[in-house]
Structure 1
Amino acid sequence: MATAIGAIEAERMGEARRDLGPLFVGTIFVGSFLLFLVQPMIARMALPRLGGAPAVWNSAMLVYQALLLGGYAYAHGLARLNVRTQSIVHLILLAAAALMLPIGLIGRVPSATASPAFWVPWLLLLSIGPLFFVVAAQAPLIQRWYTAATGGKDPYPLYAASNLGSFTGLLSYPLLVEPRLALAEQSSLWTGGYVLLVVLTLACAAVLPRAGLDTSDAGFSAEAPPTLKQRLWWVLLAFVPSGLMLSTTTYLTTDIVAMPLIWVIPLGLYLLSFTLAFSEGRSIVTGICRLSPVVMLAMGGLSLQNASREPLLAMTVQLLLLFVVAVTLHARMYTSRPAPRHLTSFYLSMSVGGVLGGLFSGLLAPLLFDWTYEHPLLILLAGALVPQAYLFGISERRWEGGRGRRLAITIAYAAIVCAIAWLAIRRPLPWLNTHGSTMGASAIGLITLFCIGRRWPFLIGLAAMVLVFGGWDSIQRTLHPGERYRSYFGIYTIIDEGDIRTLAHGTTAHGIQRLTPGFERELTSYYSPYSGVGQALSRTPEIVGPNARIGAVGLGTGTLACYTRPGQDWRFFEIDPTVVHIARESGAFTFLARCNPDAKIVLGDARLSLAKMPADSLDVLVLDAFSSDAIPMHLLTREAFAIYGRVLAPKGMLLVHISNRFLDLEPVIAAAARDGGWEAARYDDAVQADSGLSRFIFSSNWILMSRDPAVLDQVTSRPPPNGKWRPLKADPGFAGWTDDYSTILPLLKAFR
């Protein structure tokens, strides 16, 4: 009878344990959701202090990865204790971290000379460090508790729920939270989610067995503690996808398309790769792993190709490549996972790899390389790690035999590939000039396809395709100092085409100078006399007098300096010292030297610099501070326009450059004008493609603003030579941007 009762009781306990899955999955989901909701939220809060450069996001990612590593290390340290004791310690830490609620930034601002590469991590660590740290520890801890509470069930599939929660939190912010809630409301939402997380964690702790971890580790790939070699293997497998995720973000925003929110997509695919790789269903993952060498061969060779003419296609290729590599390498981690008792050690090693990948792409690469070379290097490293399996029987038979035979075949193959690559790069024959790269890469790819299954021949073919498709051209440009510069804020390339020299920031031209003698001072690109800024600056002497005080936010090549007239006082506000070097010291562009060598340059964030200036300090302020097509939101908020209004004289003019490939910024300026009492008009100039001017003059969109209607009338009443002035079109449904609220979704041209 006692035996039967015991069996019934054991069966009831087993059913209870089986019902615990939703509780633990929900707890992990909520924790990961909060973790990735706070990342864009805190970055949005910091915009008035950090600016909008894509590199700021990479710096923030380094902080998040470091805190994630700290959380996993803490979870690994707790693993030595009984699970009941673990729950008590963790709940105390959750309560202590709650003292920092509601979430927000510390009240510090950087000095003008502070390096953002170090100041950004410092600000974020002090602002959200404790909260992020304790929430980051949730995933490994709750998985370990799940194993203890269910009698030894496999906890690793729960990591798929963790990354699904991360993905949901990441997408929820730009699509749902930011467009609907002000920052104070967002902070309250996150606080409510944190309270829910504490309640769920309490519920998980309540069902833990009193005796601690009650499970067998049978059936897992590592019964003994992981060796150093295994740990290093996990670190390497985590390093490549993490670094590739950031390098893909940098590559896309620098050389393909600087579309707003583009950083969400690589990070989202990176998180989804964990969800797929750690799921219990393995058929899809197995197929992706088997085909990963083919995908890398077809798409990895395009990693350095100049794809500005087909940006969406190039973006799709790079994102698909990232996803396949991440799924494949994370799946290799999953198949080598240890027993549940060593779970925290596994996640700690994975987090170390993630941090190292982030450090390489986000911090070291900008210091080591003048271009995004980290991207193809990580692709080649991924090629060395993806599993190799023969695709065709004929391929396997060809490589049969001893080591000497395989070595001879490899040498012959390498010689053929190198010869094809040389022909494609050097193009000694006339018929190769037009399609040499495509023909060479196609031949290399076809030959290498039959080498899949042999790692070294595969890597040789992949490297050759990278060189043929833009790699050699990039290396050649690196070998010529002065043609390319890289800084924390981006990559700048100086390109000579005939008698025109262009400064390109990614795929966007930021200034053009004619090299023909006698035309070096000619006003070009977006700043020609036909543009809105050209018409306003040409009228400045008669509006405010001969001694006008003129400021320009954004230096570029210094083209605007050639509007200088005797007696005027000019100053440029520039955040990037590299741009100052290019415009003033490199000799590549001579606008400043020829037109206004004494112009003052104020280094640092323009909004902070302007806020320190006395009232009535400027008569004209030109706002032209876009990094490629990225938008510095903090320069276009209601509070920012209040600073401009204070600094400008009563008859002052504010000129805002709103040319953008992806966003219609007119509603933002119209709302700011309405709220700040500005009079405003827009000017769209149109340069005819067949006029001959389009080689060095670009069509542009400018908005002129003033508190004095008479000033606006003086500029707009004169018949313009090209284009027309018109009143701003207000959008009644658009509230405008403030430091507390902003969203770009209603401004995307694709949706308007």
Structure 2
Amino acid sequence: MRARALFVATILTGSFLLFLVQPLVARLALPQLGGAPAVWNSAMLVYQALLLAGYAYAHAIARLALKRQAIIHLIVLVIAGLTLPIGLADLAPPASQGLEALWVPLLFALTIGPVFFAVSAQAPLMQRWYAANPEAGDPYWLYAASNLGSFAGLLAYPLFLEPNLPLGSQSWAWSAGYVLLIALVAAAAWTRRGAPVESDAALSDENAEPIGWRRIVLWLALSAVPSGLMLSTTTHLTTDIVAMPLLWVIPLGLYLLSFVFAFNERSALGYTLARVAPVVVLLAGGMAMVSQNAASLSIGLATVLMLFVLATALHRRLYFERPSPRRLTLFYLAMSAGGALGGVFTALVAPLLFDWVWEHPVLVLAAAALLPDRPLVAWMDRLGLTGRQKRIMVATLLAAAAGIAMLVNRWVMLQDDTLVLLGMLAAAACGVLVLGHRRAMVAVLFVLMLGRGGYQTLETSVEGSRDRSYFGVYTVRDLPEEGRRSLISGTTLHGLQFTEPDKRREPTTYYGRDSGVGAALSQLPAIAGPGARVGVVGLGVGTVACYRKPGQRWDFFEIDRTVLSYSRDETFTFVSDCAPDADIHLGDARIVLDRFRERMRPEDRFDALVIDAFSSDAIPLHLVTDEAFDIYRRTLADDGLLLIHISNRFIDLSPMMAAVAQRHGMIGVLRSHQDPPFADGISPSLWVVMARDPKPLAALLSARPDLAWHRLPPPAQEVWTDDFASILPFIQWQNVLGRGP
């Protein structure tokens, strides 16, 4: 009994450390690499590759006698531990742009590679060692404990470690956990010191059951689809549903929890979820192609529920396809390879192939095809239908589902939510009735996807008005009857321009003339003189360019080539009309601006610096830390204005702005343009204006006495730094939960 508890503790500790170290290393690298999604994709790719390597190593040494396995693994753990405490590797940045795709994974691998590799191997090895005792029984249930530890580690970082410890202390805390893990592994090996020789032989690959390639392919598919679906669910939610803070934790956490219920043969919940999975995928999966006007918490909840149910059902099928303990390490090696394949497809391949998150409906359909093929109730057999009669009935139900889906599409266009819901239920009922006929059920799911928003999503792709990069999905929408063109990024209006010649230079959305940035840039000639220099972090569609006055020098800093292309090809003409000679610098704003600062002469410093790099409701944390504001302050003239756009549905950044201003000896005011009526094309906005010298700020306020300016709220207790930051205290939970005004 004690040995059983020891093996559980060892596996829990190792998995906990694995999922604790991933966000820790990403936070370490954030200031140097920037907040580009490509960086996170590279990080995930490295983690999955290291996990695969760790499982391959476990599979390789599992052929040896248990005593020799223990000695080798303990040596590997100790050698890897010599790289602790965790610190970012000293790797020089690439000499030329374009090599980051190779440099970023190498940096992560050098930083965390040795210990991640060593820890990742302990889960399959511990199960192998556990089974060395003939009385221990089936070891696969320990994998459920492993994923419970992973889930705990995933939640522990944003909820406990990050809000309470600086990065240096986090690294030392993780190192202490690693030492504990070595002790637990040694103790687990010691409990098996007296294992009979025949148990080693029983676990060897000699005379083990044959494993054909078809079975390995099935293992790969049952692992790859849930892994890819977890990532695609996160992308779909943040792109087209709602960009909530910490949202990435939910799909990953549910994915890990699915193993807990799937790898437990006696789990009533696991059995129930596997049985109802086809019904859930028909109901929730029917919304997998929704892309327009989809900012709905209910759709988001249905999407994550579907992920959990499908992952549990597929992982449960994977569990029942498991081999004997003799082939345990091969099984986990195939699982790891499948997980890596799903991640590579979703995180790296799909953004290059698709203009939208098409990987999500593709993976939902693949998941439906892999579900156990059996009816909920064998109603056709009870009715005594023959083979031909069954085929006719299935064809009839398919035709009915297709007809209902066409009606659902019409009701979607009419925005009749009640009829849409009833239609989806009717089509899903057709799908439930054809369960046991796999292809027919998948076909019903597909037509339901098309009816519930899929036609519109396909139409946008066919028109070629949508683009995708590693930074987001952008849709250009022309409304000629309203005389305007807009750029939509996920669920957020990214920019808008009037197409009529006499109005196309008029600032719109968050940059109207009564907004904080509009008021400041309009008065800049009077405040800083006719030759003012302006820097703008975040190009968007270039709206603020039309505040440029003759004689001013402007610089834009933009991370996404796709966004830049909309101005260069004159899809939006703000820049070409108003600031054609502006310099545009491509790259992460903090990194590029810091290099730009090093080359600046005192007279070249900005008279106004606009920080507007937020995407939807996501917070680029590295752009609002103390170190980032130190860069901004050093690029700003002594009497310059710093303007920060902090509009956000879920996070109140104003206390942090007050704290940063206080830290850097600046004073600030808040311009909240929230109350209607708004002018045509104007959106609510929240801007903070800061200055070290009170004179330009006083000049701005006196020049626009018609506007309501507010003092900043009491400052946050601590300023965010590269070493210590957490958004949890600033989340407006009433808005996250849909209870806001």
For this structure pair, what is the TM-score category when the shorter chain's length is used for normalisation?
over 0.9
The range that moved more, 435-444 or 597-606, is 435-444
Question: For residues 251 and 410 of structure 1, do their structure 2 counterparts lie closer, same or farther at Cα, with a shift above 3 Å needed?
Answer: same
Distance 2:544 2:99 in 1: 27
Distance 1:76 1:309 in 2: 46
CA drift of 1:244 comes to 0.1
Equivalent of residue 705 in structure 1, options 681, 684, 690:
690
Q: Does 1:649 align with 2:637?
A: yes
Give, as a single letter, the amino acid of the residue that structure 2 aligns with 1:302.
M
Q: Note the 1:459-478 alignment, pairs <5 A.
A: 459-478=442-461
Equivalent of residue 534 in structure 2, options 550, 557, 563:
550
- DSSP 3-state at the match of 1:214: helix
Contact kept in structure 2, 1:300 and 1:379, CA below 8 Å: yes
Q: Does 1:28 align with 2:16?
A: no
CA drift of 1:596 comes to 1.2
Q: Does 1:444 align with 2:427?
A: yes
- DSSP 3-state at the match of 2:718: coil
Q: Does 1:667 align with 2:648?
A: no
Question: For residues 306 and 491 of structure 1, do their structure 2 counterparts lie closer, same or farther at Cα, with a shift above 3 Å needed?
Answer: closer
Taking structure 1 as the reference length, what is the TM-score of the superposition? 0.92
Give, as a single letter, the amino acid of the residue that structure 2 aligns with 1:492.
Y
CA drift of 1:435 comes to 6.8
Distance 1:536 1:272 in 2: 51
Counterpart position of 1:14: none
Counterpart position of 2:20: 37
Q: Does 1:107 align with 2:90?
A: yes
Q: Note the 1:374-413 alignment, pairs <5 A.
A: 374-397=359-382, 400-402=385-387, 404-413=388-397
Equivalent of residue 192 in structure 1, options 153, 172, 176:
176
- DSSP 3-state at the match of 1:20: helix
Counterpart position of 2:232: 247
CA drift of 1:254 comes to 1.0
Q: Does 1:339 align with 2:324?
A: yes
CA drift of 1:424 comes to 4.1
Distance 1:116 1:720 in 2: 48
Question: For residues 100 and 418 of structure 1, do their structure 2 counterparts lie closer, same or farther at Cα, with a shift above 3 Å needed?
Answer: same
Distance 2:698 2:337 in 1: 62
Q: Note the 1:324-723 alignment, pairs <5 A.
A: 324-397=309-382, 400-402=385-387, 404-425=388-409, 437-438=420-421, 440-481=423-464, 483-497=465-479, 498-585=482-569, 587-613=570-596, 614-615=599-600, 616=602, 617-689=605-677, 693=679, 695-722=680-707
Distance 1:561 1:54 in 2: 27
Distance 2:406 2:373 in 1: 27
Q: Deviations over 1:63-94 (max 9, x none)?
A: 21111111101100011111111111111111
Contact kept in structure 1, 2:397 and 2:434, CA below 8 Å: no
Question: For residues 720 and 126 of structure 1, do their structure 2 counterparts lie closer, same or farther at Cα, with a shift above 3 Å needed?
Answer: farther
Distance 1:464 1:751 in 2: 37
- DSSP 3-state at the match of 2:131: helix
Counterpart position of 1:13: none
CA drift of 1:720 comes to 3.9
- DSSP 3-state at the match of 1:485: strand
CA drift of 1:751 comes to 6.9
- DSSP 3-state at the match of 2:551: coil
Q: Does 1:275 align with 2:257?
A: no
Counterpart position of 1:230: 215
Q: Deviations over 1:568-622 (max 9, x none)?
A: 111100011111001221x321111111112111001111111112353322110
- DSSP 3-state at the match of 1:304: coil
Distance 1:168 1:477 in 2: 41
Q: Deviations over 1:184-235 (max 9, x none)?
A: 00000000000000111111111224555617979xxx96132221111111
CA drift of 1:62 comes to 2.0
Counterpart position of 1:10: none
- DSSP 3-state at the match of 1:742: coil
Equivalent of residue 74 in structure 2, options 88, 91, 99:
91
Distance 1:424 1:632 in 2: 39
CA drift of 1:366 comes to 0.1
Question: For residues 65 and 158 of structure 1, do their structure 2 counterparts lie closer, same or farther at Cα, with a shift above 3 Å needed?
Answer: same
Q: Deviations over 1:308-330 (max 9, x none)?
A: 55522111111100000000000
CA-based RMSD: 2.3
Q: Does 1:314 align with 2:294?
A: no
Distance 1:243 1:452 in 2: 25
Distance 1:122 1:199 in 2: 30
Distance 2:56 2:403 in 1: 50
Distance 2:117 2:193 in 1: 26
Distance 2:9 2:340 in 1: 27
Q: Deviations over 1:268-313 (max 9, x none)?
A: 0000001111124232211111111011111110112247555221
Counterpart position of 1:298: 283
The range that moved more, 249-258 or 317-326, is 249-258
Give, as a single letter, the amino acid of the residue that structure 1 aligns with 2:684.
S
The range that moved more, 385-394 or 167-176, is 385-394
The range that moved more, 528-537 or 676-685, is 676-685
The range that moved more, 485-494 or 436-445, is 436-445
CA drift of 1:55 comes to 5.2
Contact kept in structure 1, 2:535 and 2:609, CA below 8 Å: yes
Give, as a single letter, the amino acid of the residue that structure 1 aligns with 2:72.
V
Q: Does 1:169 align with 2:169?
A: no
Distance 2:238 2:422 in 1: 29
Contact kept in structure 1, 2:477 and 2:485, CA below 8 Å: yes
- DSSP 3-state at the match of 1:337: coil
Distance 2:591 2:386 in 1: 70
CA drift of 1:118 comes to 4.4
Give, as a single letter, the amino acid of the residue that structure 2 aligns with 1:708.
D
Give, as a single letter, the amino acid of the residue that structure 1 aligns with 2:113.
G
Distance 2:99 2:699 in 1: 43
Distance 2:102 2:401 in 1: 44
Distance 1:738 1:702 in 2: 21
Q: Deviations over 1:220-265 (max 9, x none)?
A: xx96132221111111100110000000011111111111211111
**Count, aligned residues:** 723
- DSSP 3-state at the match of 2:232: helix
CA drift of 1:152 comes to 4.6
CA drift of 1:390 comes to 2.0
Contact kept in structure 2, 1:293 and 1:388, CA below 8 Å: no
Distance 2:23 2:63 in 1: 34
Distance 2:567 2:127 in 1: 55
- DSSP 3-state at the match of 1:492: strand
Counterpart position of 2:30: 47
Distance 2:414 2:451 in 1: 16
Give, as a single letter, the amino acid of the residue that structure 2 aligns with 1:632.
P
Counterpart position of 1:11: none
The range that moved more, 440-449 or 225-234, is 440-449
Contact kept in structure 2, 1:139 and 1:159, CA below 8 Å: yes
Taking structure 2 as the reference length, what is the TM-score of the superposition? 0.93
CA drift of 1:451 comes to 1.3
The range that moved more, 552-561 or 51-60, is 51-60
Unaligned stretches of 5+ residues in structure 2: 736-741
CA drift of 1:699 comes to 1.5
Give, as a single letter, the amino acid of the residue that structure 2 aligns with 1:484.
R
